Chain A
Amino acid sequence: MKSKSSSLTREIIIKPKTGWQIINWKELKEYKDLIYFLVLRDVTSLYKQTVLGFSWAILRPFIKMVIFSVVFGGLAKIPSDGIPYPLFVYAGLVPWEYFSTSLTKSTGSLITGVGIYTKVYFPRLILPIVPCIAILVDFAIALSIVFILMLKYGFAISFTILYLPILILLMILFTAGLGIWLSALAIQYRDVTHGVQFLVQILMYAAPVIYPISWLPESYRIYLAIYPMYGVIEGFRAALLGQNAMPWDIIGMGAISAFVMLISGAYYFKRKERIFADVA
């Protein structure tokens, strides 16, 4: 057996820690292979033994689109900024589905991963982050359908699509930040796993998934802008469909709060990390 261990001999001090801890980003990088295989596990195992396989990634938002179009677009007559309601709602559902699925998985990640981190050491911060990467595959598949819908409704792709990566990054950062917070809470207080379903529901109606922001009074905008998915979803529509201008003010506000959420979440997680194996 050849020894190719890249890490240098280093000293590890094991002692009780109290208070706030520094986040060891370098260590996270050293575990990139583990992140890679955990993501691969999530991606490859998700649709194992299903007939439809990855079609589910399309079907889930698609079915919701049909339901929402009938209920909110057809019956409730919610406006959609002149965009055909199915296309309007689907463009919002693509980032929304990513957010809700990743957040639920991320919240439960320490509970489902208990068999691993009570047996082996690795930076536990990896666990809530993994679903946020793995669900990107579903997200990408669902996103590709937007272009087919755009073709159907006669929408051309404009240069604003180049803004999409910024919005996707914001979406990932916020999801991971909230997921990290909730996972650390859920491992001690299991109520969080039950409550997160309602949280997701509330957050969906708080975000402009089924309605346009123009439908809300102007004065609400500034408050809702704190919630990053608000800017992400509206931004997605602007970038893809090019009907409205990019709402940079809302996106900027959202970016700040996503960043605060991620950093505070990571520090809270590190502070709680030492008790995970004891309380799990």
Chain B
Amino acid sequence: MNDTIIKVDNLSKRYRIGVQDVIHDSLIASIFSWVKSPISNFRRVQKLSKFNGEDGQDIIWALKDISFNVKKGEIVGIIGRNGAGKSTLLKILSRIVEPTDGQASVYGRVASLLEIGTGFHRELSGRENIYLNGTILGMTKNEIKENFDEIVEFSEIGKFLDTPVKRYSSGMYVRLAFAVAAHLNPEILIVDEVLAVGDAAFQKKCLGKMSETAKSGRTVLFVSHNMHTIQDLCDRTILLEDGKVAIDGDTSDVIKHYLQPEMMKTGESDLTDNFRSRKSPGKLRAKAIRILDKNDEICSTYEINDPINIELDITNVNDNGFAVSFLIFNQQGALVYHIRSQDGNIITKNLGSTITVRMTIPRLNIIQGRYSVDVWLGNHLDLLEDHVESTISFEVVNRGHSKVPLRSIIHETGKWQIIKN
């Protein structure tokens, strides 16, 4: 097709993660390894950029055989959990890192905004930094000159224009940085999660400017964890999972799929299966998880202010004891509850190898929506044994008197009174 502006074919990226050092238990061994260390250090440093075919333990594929096309003028959202490969994909398309395999063709001038304020120098004034940051982002001196007044106005820094940016408040710094970025005018704009900074009013202004840019016929690739922003800006969205394209299609469909994965069970969930994102360096294992209501019945829908019970079956328990954490996330990926057994005054020693723990939240003070639960298991020293993401989900509904949905993260009914004089 003629109007394809980005073409990605089987793109892969391999990284080497740090391998644990060997710990020596004798003085002789330590001295010997210290003498040898320049050689082993040299090999290790060299290995950062050399791969010898074998896919050892310390190699991860951040991206694996990604393919998709983007047409001119499309605004494409890219979503996925942390570590799904979103940033790696943007970095490859921005030509910051090189792919290990595959190919991408880009037709047009690209500007990437993986961070705002790249190259800002603390000692330089706002004016000097506008020019410096602008050219780093790919604008020419003349382009910045043309837009200079607009940038200054947008940033609302006014009389501080000639003050070194190290004297700026963090809000001013962010506003100036975003003002420069907002005036980029390339054919293709690649944006990572950069809007999660600054105060709410300014964020709104930036979003307005972004959608204006996006709607003026530019092609935009946009990564965000904020589903509202994605929904507002993008017609099409790509969901990445473990370095692969999970789905690619209409934004509403993809978001629906992402937020309510069919694999994520409600009510009760068996954890003996191989979970997609499980880290288990220890022996301790989470076996099953259940969510129960106040009558001890398995249930997946709760009302605000209801009590909720979470039960977890654990195997391979060691007599030294253990620690459990439940991490409860909302749909935007924000961690709303982090509940730890260490805070709960339970004795975990000498309990036998298979047990069940039960945790009660007496009152759910969170708003309507779907929530997912991560399980974290540690040993008596708080070191990780088993970590399973998205084990189970439950729904919170608001059957209160107002039909207007709540907009906070936590909920408080409040104690209300009418006071008459």
Contacts and interface: CB of A to CB of B under 8 A. Distances in A.
Q: Do A and B bind each other?
A: yes
Interface of A: 1-7, 9-17, 33-34, 36-38, 40-41, 44-45, 48-49, 115-122, 188-189, 274-275, 277-279
Given A10-B108, A12-B107, A275-B98, 9 more contacts: A4-B146, A7-B109, A13-B104, A15-B103, A16-B101, A41-B128, A48-B123, A48-B164, A120-B96
B183 interface: yes
Given A33-B140, A45-B124, A120 B94 contact: yes
7 contacts: A4-B140, A4-B142, A9-B107, A37-B132, A118-B96, A120-B136, A278-B49
A23 B418 CA distance: 78
A275 B137 CA distance: 21
Interface stretch (B112-120, B289-297, B347-355, B362-370): B112-120
B254 interface: no
Interface in B180-194: 183, 185-187
B356 interface: no
A121 B49 contact: no
A28 to B, nearest CB: 14
B225 interface: no
B281 interface: no
B110 A12 contact: yes
A1 B147 contact: yes
B99 A121 contact: no
A269 to B, nearest CB: 14
Contacts of A1: 147, 150, 183, 185
A120 B107 contact: no
A36 B42 CA distance: 37
A120 B105 CA distance: 18
Given A13-B103, A14-B103, A40-B128, A121 B135 contact: no
Contact of B136 (A12, A17, A116, A188): A116
Select the residue from B109, B114, B128, B136 with max chain A CB neighbours within 10 A: B136
Nearest to B120: A115
Nearest to B107: A11
A119 B115 contact: yes
Which 4 residue pairs spanning A and B have beta carbons closest together?
A121-B95, A15-B103, A275-B49, A48-B123
Contacts of B150: 1
A99 to B, nearest CB: 25
B336 to A, nearest CB: 31
Nearest to B96: A277
Contact of B185 (A5, A13, A33): A5
Contact of B48 (A12, A16, A278): A278
Interface in B78-130: 91-110, 112, 114-115, 118-119, 121, 123-124, 128
B106 A41 contact: no
B45 interface: yes
A15 B9 CA distance: 10
Contact of A36 (B107, B109, B141): B141
B76 to A, nearest CB: 17
A118 B87 CA distance: 11
Interface of B: 15, 42, 45-46, 48-49, 91-110, 112, 114-115, 118-119, 121, 123-124, 128, 131-132, 135-138, 140-143, 146-147, 150, 164, 183, 185-187
Given A4-B143, A5-B185, A120 B114 contact: yes
Nearest to B12: A16
B309 to A, nearest CB: 46
B106 A14 contact: yes
B155 to A, nearest CB: 15
Given A1-B185, A5-B186, A278-B15, A13 B105 contact: yes
B166 to A, nearest CB: 9
Given A41-B124, A120-B112, A275-B49, A11 B138 contact: no
B36 to A, nearest CB: 16
A183 B131 CA distance: 26
Contact of A188 (B49, B91, B95): B49
Given A14-B92, A120-B114, A275 B48 contact: yes
B181 to A, nearest CB: 11
A120 B114 CA distance: 8
Nearest to A273: B98
Nearest to B164: A48
Select the residue from A9, A48, A115, A121 with max chain B CB neighbours within 10 A: A121
A121 B94 contact: yes
Nearest to A17: B98
Contacts of B91: 118, 277
A119 B131 CA distance: 17
A6 B140 contact: yes
Contacts of B48: 188, 275, 278-279
B419 to A, nearest CB: 55
Contacts of A277: 91, 96-97
A95 B46 CA distance: 36
Contacts of A5: 109, 143, 185-187
B121 A12 contact: no
